[in-house]
Structure 1
Amino acid sequence: MTPSDVIVIGGGIAGISAGAELAAEMSVTVLEGERQIGYHSTGRSAAIFIRNYGNATLRALNAVSAGLMERPEGVSDNSLLSPRGEMMLATEEELATLEDYCAEAQGLERLSAAQAAELVPILRPELIAAAVIEWDAQDIDVDRMLNGYARLLRRRGGRIETGAQVTEIRRDGGQWVVTAGTQEYRAPLIVNAAGAWAAQVATLAGVRPIPMHPLRRSAAILPAPEEHDVTRWPLFVSASEQWYAKPEAGKLMVSPADEDPVEPHDAWADDMVLAEGLHRFEQAVTMPVTRVEHTWAGLRSFTPDRTPVVGRDPDQPGFFWLAGQGGYGVQTAPVLSRVTARLVTAMAPPVSETVIGALSPARFQS
């Protein structure tokens, strides 16, 4: 029996960063079912920080997270961000969608079709009715971030147990007893950072699950178009998110931006979904898609209001939710890990009470 103050279930960026922040004040054990941390959604992220991505609550989180990524004290000696930019493109049919996005966003610059094609020369300017760019969108060094938080967690005395698939959770004498593999772990508090498996973890603990739906997102790596250096191209995306493309190690990562409901599993790309998305991408560019070098998929788990759920369960205060991050998990991890630690230790969180209320699990009580 291994005792701790807190058991964090889930070794993705959410669980590892929260564990690191909690370990400043408490003894922490992180349980990860896979043989390595960050195996699922974290390791399959688009690795982009977009300040305007998400609803009002998420944009408030992004604003705080940006500063923490630029100055990642204890995690890295220098910024986790590097310049990229995100360009959104609209056909005539997508103009209303683009205008709705711009009405909620800040820091955007409008571009002509010719300017957009100058930034990404394979675009078909005759199809572009409008374009905007967020210059401040940046690449995230996800690997350095994840491993930096893992080192910080261990420096503070925390433990990470991999290959520790949770099979049973029970209450005993006011504490949780979590069985993972052949070991048992005991703590008064569980932090549920299990990603797509968060509802299953709640059920194991006898806690009423919060509605949460894993959605598959696929991607493919394509060779860079001939005679083009893609290194400095921005991420470029259709306004209605029919596809997006991003430079990746001298090649192009292209996604159909799919959101297909699936059960929690080790996700893989659906060939038909990927083919349809690559076809949509191909219609917008002069580059023929002749070869796919690699494909993969990840799971993005959303609550009905597409806002993360962070806080103590209203019926079981010893059970803390850190889930439902959707496609925002990596970019919000720095701020949500601090929110988690502050709420657990009854300290003032780094965001407003309005944001804390919007994150609260209590919003799902009937």
Structure 2
Amino acid sequence: MSFSCDIAIIGAGMAGASLAAALVAHEVSGRILMLEGEDRPGYHATGRSAAFWHETYGGPGVQPLSQASGPALWDLGVLHKRRGLTLARKGQEAELHAFVARFAALGVRISVADRAVITHYIPGLSPDYVLGALEEDCCDIDVAALHQHYLAEARQGGVELLCDARVAGVVRGGEGWALTLADGRSISARLIVNAAGAWADQLAVMAGAAPLGITPYRRTMIQARVDPAPSDSLPLVLDLDESFYFKPESGRLWLTPHDETPTPPCDAAPEEIDVALGIDRLEKIVDWQVERIEHRWAGLRSFAPDRLPVYGFDADVPGFFWCAGQGGFGIQTAPAGSDLAARLLLGLEVGAVSPEAYRPGRFLRED
């Protein structure tokens, strides 16, 4: 069986689905196929995210995309107010003040919270923590609803989704591409979009493009029953060292040791040592008792070397477009990131967010 299309988007997680929907919104002409290697979209990263919209997450280079995405996420009804609180230990006071000043200058609603304020939000907090950065606009994201919205928008706009469509071969010929799937199906496409997440560099090599150093990292999540049960008003709690974060979820606590273990692209599974590390860190942060670990899982977060996303045509291989490297912030930046990628793909004027920091060509080495 063979297919022919104008644009083949490889990957139907948040990156691929949101880009497909953005192309529909821009009324692109031609046939678009979205190829998903698994039996359903969003299996590896999108479906395993404990996502939130948190403007300081990802750093100043990501913040413009997060800020620009906020209104769209609100309009879609997928945000739920949470607050965010980044903690600082004794000796980190100057670092915390600099952190707040840096993001306040970018327009983030953020302020320094003293010990009395942070213990109001986090009862039983260790005396090691003396200050916090409070973000009033931080929100939880309904990841499944957002992903389904984009899939539905793409489908209604005529984008065709093929699941169990793992790409096994990519050959450029003439003005387009010939793709071979693992089950023997073939696809011809004028353009291909690399939205393959953890597999982005592997796909690039198949297409004859230089890999950019996009590396998958395993992240462990734990759902625990704790005493006292976390209040719904508990913020998303992080620390300046990025050694943990936790938040309440339906009377339970979702917790991660913020692990980033480089791993080949795979169906990630949690390691017991990382689960134990998460519990150990929690017990050093608060005096709560962990009564039971009810669930544990792991997902992959893929980063380029500078930890910024990659949007744009490959510098050396015509017709090969990158939409990858979104790391752990691909969901909170999906509206702005997908719109930017769609405009670059279609050659349209870009909006308020400049693409320069995200272009694939930034990794070119000068001899």
TM-score calculated relative to the size of structure 2: 0.93
> Could you say which residue in structure 2 is the equivalent of 1:31?
35
Q: Sequence identity, in percent?
A: 37
Deviates further, 94-103 or 32-41: 94-103
Give the corresponding residue for 2:120: 118
- Considering fraction of residues, name the structure with more strand: 2
Q: How far apart are residue 84 of structure 1 and its match?
A: 0.4
2: distance between equivalents of 1:296 and 1:190?
32
- Runs (4 or more) in structure 1 with deviation over 3 Å come to 93-97
User: More deviation in 324-333 or 109-118?
Assistant: 109-118
Q: Distance in 1 between matches of 2:167 and 2:226?
A: 42
Provide the residue aligned with 1:71 in structure 2. Answer: 75
Aligned length: 356
String of CA shifts for 1:212-239, please: whole Å, max 9, x gaps.
111111110001423x452221111122
Quote how far apart the aligned CAs of 1:31 are: 0.5
Contact 1:194 1:323 in 2 (8 A): yes
Q: CA RMSD in A?
A: 1.5
Residue pairs, 1:136-215, within 5 angstroms: 136-180=137-181, 181-215=183-217
Partner residue, 1:220: 222
State the shift of 1:347 in Å. Answer: 0.9
- In structure 2, the partner of 1:361 is 360
Q: Is the 8 A contact 1:322 1:340 kept in 2?
A: yes
Q: Measure, in 2, the Cα distance between the counterparts of 1:264 and 1:297.
A: 13
Cα distance in structure 2, aligned partners of 1:323 and 1:209: 12
In the TM superposition, residue 250 of structure 1 has moved relative to its aligned partner by: 1.9
CA 1:112–1:96 in structure 2 vs 1: closer, same or farther (change >3 Å)?
closer
- What SS class does the counterpart of residue 330 from structure 2 fall into? helix
1:242 touches 1:277 (CA, 8 Å); kept in 2? no
Using the TM superposition, give the Cα deviation of residue 90 of structure 1 relative to its aligned residue in structure 2, in angstroms. Answer: 1.3
* 1:52-84 CA-partner distances (Å, limit 9, x unpaired): 222333111111111221224xxxxxx221100
Which one is further off, 92-101 or 257-266?
92-101
Q: Secondary structure of the residue that 1:206 maps to in structure 2? A: coil
Partner of 2:307: 306
Q: Distance in 2 between matches of 1:229 and 1:243?
A: 16
Deviation at 1:97, TM superposition (A): 3.9
CA distance in 2, matches of 1:97, 1:38: 37
Tell me what 2:89 maps to.
Answer: 91
Per-residue deviation at 1:165? 0.9
The alignment status of 1:57 with 2:55, answered yes or no, reads no
Classify the secondary structure of the residue corresponding to 2:268. Answer: coil
Q: What does residue 76 of structure 1 align with?
A: none
3-state SS in 2 of match to 1:297: strand
Secondary structure, aligned partner of 2:222: strand
Q: 2 CA distance for matches of 1:321 and 1:257?
A: 27
Structure-1 separation of matches of 2:212 and 2:328: 18
Cross-structure match for 2:324: 323
The amino acid across from 2:213 in the alignment is P
SS in 1 for 2:292: coil
Letter of the structure 2 residue corresponding to residue 337 of structure 1: S
Per the alignment, residue 75 of structure 1 pairs with: none
* Counterpart for residue 281 of structure 1: 282
1:101 paired to 2:99 = yes
Which of 50, 75, 89 lines up with 1:46 in the alignment?
Answer: 50
Paired residues of 1:11 and 1:38 also in contact (CA < 8 A): yes
- 2:134 and 2:195 map into 1 onto residues whose CA distance is 33
Q: CA deviation at 1:186?
A: 1.3
SS at match of 1:98: helix
The 8 Å contact of residues 83 and 235 in structure 2, kept in 1 or not, is answered as yes
Q: Aligned pair 1:13/2:14, yes or no?
A: yes
Q: How far, CA to CA, are the matches of 2:134 and 2:19 in structure 1?
A: 32
CA contact (8 A) 2:227 2:290 kept: no
Letter in 2 for 1:25: V
Aligned residue for 1:216, secondary structure, equals strand
